Amino acid sequence: MTEPTRSDGPTDRALDAALRRALEPPRVTEEFRERVRAALARAAETDLAELRARLETERRETLARLEADYIRLKRRTLAAMVGGAFAAGAAAAIALPWMTKLVGPAAPLAIASIGAAVGITIGVSYWLRSRETVT
C-alpha cells in the first residue's frame, strides 16, 4: 500500500501555482450569481420551515403523551382513593361491633384513631420511599 502524498512540499506548491496560471476559472454572470443566492435562500427557508413543522409535530406528540400520562395518573389515584375508602368503610363496619364489646362507647373514636394511625403510617412509608428514589 502506498503512502498518501502530502501537498505541502515546494514541488507541489510550484505545481499548484502553475495550474492556477494555466487554468482560468470560468466567467460567471451576475444573473447566475443572483439565481444561486435565490436558490440558497429558498433552500434555507424550506429547511427552516421543514424544521419548524417537524419540531411543532414533535411538541404536539410530546404534549399528547404527557396529557395521556396525566389522565392515567389521575384515574389511578382516584381508583386508589375509592378503593381505600371502601376498604376503610368495610373494615370499620366489621370492626365496630367487636370494638364496642372490647372498648365500650369509645369504640368509634378508637376505630377512627386506628384508621388515622394506619393512614399516617402508609403515607410516611410512601414519602420515605419516594425520597430514597430521588436521592
Sorted by where each begins, the domain ranges of the chain are: 26-134
Q: Cα(37)–Cα(82) distance, rounded to whole angstroms?
A: 67
Quick one: pLDDT band at residue 12, thresholds 50, 70, 90? Answer: confident
What pTM, to 2 d.p., does this model score?
A: 0.46
Q: What's the pLDDT tens digit per position in 24-77?
A: 777 888 888 888 888 888 877 777 778 888 899 999 999 999 999 999 999 999
Residue 74 vs residue 131, higher pLDDT = 74
Task: Give the cell for residue 46.
Answer: 424550506
pLDDT score recorded for residue 70:
93
Is residue 21 predicted with pLDDT exceeding 80? Answer: yes
pLDDT score recorded for residue 23:
82
Q: Cα(119)–Cα(80) distance, rounded to whole angstroms?
A: 13
Longest dimension (CA), the chain: 116
How far is CA 25 from each of CA 21, 32, 36, 69, rounded to the nearest angstrom? 10, 15, 17, 62
Q: What's the pLDDT tens digit per position in 95-111?
A: 889 989 988 999 899 88
pLDDT score recorded for residue 9:
83
Q: Cα(28)–Cα(37) distance, rounded to whole angstroms?
A: 13
Dihedrals phi, psi of 3, to nearest 5 degrees: -75, 140
Is residue 119 predicted with pLDDT exceeding 90? Answer: no
pLDDT score recorded for residue 75:
93
